A = this chain, B = another copy of it.
Amino acid sequence: MSVLVVGSIAIDTIRTPTDVKENLLGGSASHAAICASFFTKTQLVGVVGDDFPKKYINLFLSRKIDLAGLKREHGNTFHWDGKYEKDPNKRSTLVTELGVFENFKPDLPQQFRASPFVLLANISPALQLYVLDQIRTPRFVVADTMDLWIKTARPELLKLLRRIDAIVINDSEAKELVNEDNLIHAARLINKLGPKFVIIKKGEHGSILYSKNDIFILPAYPLLKVVDPTGAGDSFLGALVGWLASKKDVSLKNLKTAMVYGTIVASFCCEGFGLDKTSKLNKKMIDHRLTEFKRFTRF
């Protein structure tokens, strides 16, 4: 089944101690859609400006991503400029220029409104709800969020949580959302706010799935070198939902396997700037790393 992906599309500048890369394709929806596209038919909803490079349109098209929901507005594409320290877990934002993203109003094309799988990548909960209202009978809705919305849009976020099947959130944000230091307890409290499945991203430490009757704990794929972790969480999410949609049946077993695929694809993301690595993936590369990962984790 197809996946509808909505979120930000950005042009990123990424600075590391050894490199500065400009004009990279970035944004939550870009990463998620490209990574979902390895597993299922993907529809992208987003907005770009006049300056958005044709090569990135071609990249989406090369992955057979349906761009009927991609608007081009007059102005600049959302721009993010971030700097990583020697330890890539430490980053700071230098510049955020919203550009055309500031007035983004994701009106879905009619043919997108029947999408069974909906991936609400990280944008404001109000926009996520706006999209959700247009979907006729969603089978499975997953949303990502961030600390900004926990701080500035809590009522909308809580409303969203009651309407989605799964939330994907990083560990510090999960703790902040429910004001609880113990991560497992935080997951339990978020579960009570609505979503049947709470998926917590722990970066290099992997991820956790919490549901009322089960816990699943998954390490990350071990990397000897992290080049640029930007978008790793969105890649995880995109591959997760993409793989799940390819299976039709949203069982707990399938959700666990989907997290494994998300983990594998996210590891590739970290090995290159922007979408350098993930955009060049193929199933053989994914399956090879999956085999290694099983070996690394079996006991």
Contact with B along A178-220 (1 / 0, CB 8 A): 0001111100100000000000001011101000001111111
Instruction: Select from chain B the residue with minimum beta-carbon distance to A86.
Output: B181
Quick check: A182 and B299 within 8 Å, CB to CB?
no
Q: How far is the CA of A224 from the CA of B295 in the complex (A)?
A: 29
Interface residue? A256 (CB, 8 A) = yes
Quick check: B181 and A87 within 8 Å, CB to CB?
yes
Instruction: Select from chain B the residue with minimum beta-carbon distance to A295.
Output: B214
| B188, B219, B257, B259: the one within 8 Å of A218 (CB) | B219
Interface residues in A276-299 by Cβ distance below 8 A to B read: 295-297, 299
**Smallest CB–CB gap between A283 and chain B, Å?**
18
Contact with B along A77-103 (1 / 0, CB 8 A): 000000000111000000000000000
Q: A-side interface residues toward B, CB under 8 Å?
A: 86-88, 181-185, 188, 202, 204-206, 208, 214-220, 222-226, 256-257, 259-260, 295-297, 299
Majority DSSP secondary structure for residues of A touching B: mixed
Quick check: B299 and A224 within 8 Å, CB to CB?
no
Given contacts A202-B205, A215-B296, A216-B297, 13 further A-B contacts (CB under 8 A): A87-B181, A182-B223, A182-B224, A182-B225, A183-B204, A184-B222, A184-B223, A185-B224, A205-B206, A206-B219, A215-B222, A216-B296, A297-B297
Q: How far is the CA of A260 from the CA of B182 in the complex (A)?
A: 22
Q: Assuming the A-B contacts A87-B181, A204-B183, A297-B297, are A219 and B222 also in contact, with contact meaning beta carbons closer than 8 angstroms in the complex?
A: no
Q: How far is the CA of A224 from the CA of B225 in the complex (A)?
A: 33
Chain B residues whose C-beta falls within 8 Å of the C-beta of A184 in the assembled complex: 222-224
Quick check: A299 and B185 within 8 Å, CB to CB?
no
Quick check: B299 and A218 within 8 Å, CB to CB?
yes
**Smallest CB–CB gap between A186 and chain B, Å?**
10
| B185, B208, B225, B296: the one within 8 Å of A185 (CB) | B225
Instruction: Select from chain B the residue with minimum beta-carbon distance to A293.
Output: B217
Chain B residues whose C-beta falls within 8 Å of the C-beta of A256 in the assembled complex: 299
Instruction: With a 10 A CB-CB cut-off, give which of A87, A206, A222, A296 has the most chain B CB atoms.
Output: A222
| B188, B204, B297: the one within 8 Å of A224 (CB) | B188
Quick check: A297 and B217 within 8 Å, CB to CB?
yes
Q: Assuming the A-B contacts A205-B205, A218-B219, A219-B206, are A226 and B182 also in contact, with contact meaning beta carbons closer than 8 angstroms in the complex?
A: yes
